Each structure stands twice: as structure tokens, then as C-alpha cells.
A and B are shown apart, each in its own frame.
Chain A
């Protein structure tokens, strides 16, 4: 992949707890994205960033927040996790808005 590391790779937590997923890129790509993957839905965009401190909502942003204080890191936070947020989360980046996105290996999150 294009130098994306997601952490943790697996996490199990309880309903109501806060959860933060980290996406780190080794490039200086401007655009970064968070998706969730669920059976029958493909991938759906949660939030994306078009620069440091510049973020926007995607299709399924309710219950999620993001932050990007450095070019290389894009954090996804579930303030109070719910069972419906059990999913596999993928981070992606792209150098320019018209360039294809490159994906990390995903974080499998289970909320009990």
C-alpha cells in the first residue's frame, strides 16, 4: 500500500466507551479518508480531510468525529461507542483530489 499504517488492527470494547482509531501516513498526501466496511454495503465514507485542520463529513458521519493536527495523522473517534459501530474501518489517502485513493489494511472493531 501507499505507506498507511492503521492502529490498532483489532479492538474489542464495550458499549458507551470512547474509542480512537489512528491512521498514519508516511507520505505528505493532502487528502485522507475514513471508511467503514459492512456486509452488503461495501465501503461507506465517514469523514475525510483535505488538509491540516480541514475536514468534512461523509455519508455516515453520525456518531463519529475526526481530527487532523498533523499532515501524517488522521484520527477517528467514537465518543460513546454503540454496537451498530461494530465494523471494519479503513483509512485511505490520496495525493491530489483527482488521484486514486490508497488504503490501509483496516481495523476490526467489535463493540459488545
Chain B
């Protein structure tokens, strides 16, 4: 079945450092890809998405590019802030252009130190 693999955390960085969180996927079809963020005590919030190959999703300084050839959707940010500390989830939807039946990675906990 479909699956998502994220780099294991926790990840600890200093403020203004460059961030990469790796995400690779396995899917039988042509999935849509998502990054969600979860702040302490809250539900998940959509951070960005991409629905076809070479699409770049971006939001709040975060970016991720849908790479079909490497089945990857790595999350990047050029300069992280303390407020970016959260758990990040990569996810796919197994319905092309759809959002039902999200399959999530295990999550990566990010801590940014001042």
C-alpha cells in the first residue's frame, strides 16, 4: 500500500539555521502531497501542498517541491525561528488531485533554540 517515510527526529537547530526535513513516498497512483504542522496541544494545520510533478508549494517561508523521479517532497526553510518549533508531518492523498484518505509519515519534531 501507499506509505510516507520522514527523517527521524527530533531535530534541534539554532535560530536562523537552514532547515531540511526529508520526506519520501511510495504510491501506486499519482498522489497529491502535503506538509502539515502541529503546534503543542493543537490539531494539524496545512502548511503547503503540491498536486503534480515539479509543483512547488510554499507558505510562511517554507518550501517543498514535488519530485516524481525521486518520489520525494522535502521541506525546506532558509532561516528558522523559535516560533517554528513544532511537529511536521508529510502526507499523501491516494486520489489524484484529491485529499481523501490521507496517509501520513510518522512526524518529525523540530526544536529551534534562540
Q: Cβ of B100 < 8 Å from any Cβ of A? A: yes
Q: Cβ of A1 < 8 Å from any Cβ of B? A: yes
Q: Please provide the chain A residues from 92 to 106 with a CB less than 8 Å away from any CB of chain B in the complex.
A: 92, 94, 96-106
Q: Report, as a range, how many residues of chain B touch the other chain.
A: 20 to 34
Among A4, A42, A102: residue with most chain B CB under 10 A: A42
Per the bound structure, the CA–CA distance linking A87 and B82 in Å amounts to 28
Per the bound structure, the CA–CA distance linking A50 and B44 in Å amounts to 21
- Give the total number of A-B pairs whose CB atoms are below 8 A apart: 63
B46, A98: Cβ atoms closer than 8 Å: no
Q: Which one of A31, A45, A50, A104 contacts B43 once the chains associate, using CB atoms below 8 Å?
A: A104
Whose C-beta in chain A lies nearest to the C-beta of B49? A100
- Measured CB to CB, the closest approach of chain B to A28, in angstroms, equals 17
Whose C-beta in chain A lies nearest to the C-beta of B90? A42
A97, B95: Cβ atoms closer than 8 Å: yes
- Measured CB to CB, the closest approach of chain B to A18, in angstroms, equals 25
B42, A105: Cβ atoms closer than 8 Å: yes
Q: Please provide the chain A residues from 40 to 58 with a CB less than 8 Å away from any CB of chain B in the complex.
A: 40-45, 48, 50, 58
A103 and B44 contact, Cβ closer than 8 Å, known pairs A40-B106, A41-B106: yes
Per the bound structure, the CA–CA distance linking A4 and B97 in Å amounts to 24
* Partner-A contacts on B (CB < 8 A): 4, 32, 34, 36, 41-46, 49, 89, 91, 95, 97-107
* Partner-B contacts on A (CB < 8 A): 1, 4, 31, 33, 40-45, 48, 50, 58-59, 90, 92, 94, 96-106
